[in-house]
Amino acid sequence: MSTHPSNSLLAGEQRGSAYSLVLPRSAMSGAGGRRTAASPGNSLEFRDFRDYQPGDDLRRIDWGAYARSDHLAVRIYHDEVSPHADIVVDGSRSMALEGTAKAEAARFLLAFFSAASINAGCGHKAWICADGFHEIPGGTGRPGAWGTVDFYDATAPDDAFHALPPRWRRNGIRIILSDLLWLGDPLALLQMLGDGAAAVIVVQLLAEADLSPGARGNVSLVDAETGAEKRIFVDAVTERRYREALQAHQQNWFRACRQMGASFVPLTAEPIMNGAGLDALAAAHVVEVV
């Protein structure tokens, strides 16, 4: 399942062009945008009257209404907003697990969400989380023009916040693509992700090998990030225990996301690269078909 990295980006962009990111209301912020916000602003579109308050702009007083009613009232207009999505991909080595489609799927989803953001009228910026948060070169443009997206680090995203924190736009949508397979409190990361964000979407990308190891007998496990080895004997009991641990870990993240008001969507890499596997995003109202 080895494809050129740019092919995955192009495939993701192409697929994402059929979708649009679902924007939450709180994402409608930022002046000078293409959308009319519900909040009062300085656009030319009339909204309503209200009584004059000392300090109001005298230019907004409706003098015609005063001449007719001898009552001072102020005109209120709709505001223009500019939504933004920051899409972060986990740059750790586990995202390029040997023998799986995880790396390709991660690039695919990065480009998918970029294209969906464009369709939603969002600005976007692509980030890679590896020993800090780094902008992907050309990450505000179309995915086809991006630089390389490689998975080479061993730093967990919550540690990356301290190494090189991101400069995200406030009130934006923050989407994180990661396998979430590190030890740490999900709430801590979610708090850092959600600080000043309109919405947080956590997409857990796992390979089929992550879901079900498949190997039986004497196995030497090699940690993709640290290189540490562990020899165990895998039988049905061991597999069952692994799946239970994974499920518990996912439940942990799900509860933390719910607590923080974030969306949690688990995806599997191989079906995505086979043309399917994105229904969960639509089901979670993260994207919608245009």
Partner 1 sequence: MVPFAYPLALLGLLSMPVLTGIYLLRNRARRMPVSSLMLWQLERSPKQGGLRLDRLLTPWLFLLELLILALLAVAAASPLVPRRNQLVRTVVVLDDSYSMLARDADGVTPRERATDIVMEMADDSAQSWQFVLAGAEPAMLGRETMRETQVRRILDEWSCMSSRADLPAALARAKTFAGARGRLLVLSDQPPPQLDDQDRLVWHAVGHPLPNVGFVGAARTTQGDSDRFLLEVQNFADTPFRASLTVQIGEETKVRRIALPPGGRVALPSTTEKQRDAVVASLPTDALDVDNRVVLLPTSSPRIRVRNAVANPRLRAEVREVLEATERAAMVDASPELWISDRPGTVDARRAWSLHLLPGKDGRAFVGPFLTRSDHPLTDGLALPGEVWSATADGELPGTPVISAGNTVLLSDERTLSRLHRIHMRINPQTSTVLRSPAWPILFYNLLSWRDARRAGLAEPNVRLGQTARLTLPRGGGAVQIESPGRDAREVRAAAERFAFVPARPGVHTLRVGETEYRLAVNAMDADESNLRACGAGRFGSWIAGSAGREDYASLSWILVLLALVLLVAHQALIQNRRTRTRE
Interface residue list for partner 1 (CB under 8 A):
94, 97-99, 102, 179, 181-183, 206-207, 209-210, 213, 215, 217-226, 228, 230-232, 238, 241-242, 245-246, 249
Backbone angles phi, psi at 111, to 5 degrees: -70, -35
Indicate the residue among 65 and 246 with the shorter CB distance to partner 1: 246
Q: How far is the CB of 166 from partner 1 (least distance, A)?
A: 23
Q: Closer CB to partner 1, residue 64 or residue 217? A: 217
Choice between 106 and 173, CB closer to partner 1: 106
> Cβ closer to partner 1: 44 or 228?
228
> Minimum CB separation from partner 1 for residue 44, in Å?
54
| CB of residue 4 to partner 1, shortest distance in Å | 22
Closest C-alpha among 263, 276, 250, 267 to residue 106:
267
DSSP track, 12-67: HHHHHTTEEEPPPGGG---SS-SEEEEEEEEEEEEEEEEE--TTS-GGGB-HHHHH
Assigned token pair, 270: 């191989």
Least Cα distance to 267 among 288, 284, 248 occurs for 284
Smaller CB separation from partner 1, 67 or 228 = 228
Scored b (16 or more CB within 10 A) or e, 245-273 reads: eeeebeeebbebbeebebbbbbbbbbebb
**Shortest separation between residue 98's beta carbon and partner 1, angstroms:** 4
Report, in Å, the least distance between residue 94 CB and partner 1: 4
List the structure tokens of 266.
């688990």
169/282 Cα distance (integer angstroms): 25
Minimum distance from CB of 132 to partner 1 (Å)?
20
**Shortest separation between residue 272's beta carbon and partner 1, angstroms:** 16
CA-CA distances (angstroms) from residue 203 to 71, 186, 257? 55, 13, 11
Helices 186-194 and 236-260: crossing angle in degrees, nearest 10, is 30
User: Closest CB to partner 1 among 232 and 276?
Assistant: 232
Choose between 73 and 97: whose C-beta lies nearer to partner 1. Answer: 97
What is the C-alpha separation between 156 and 99, in angstroms, rounded? 22
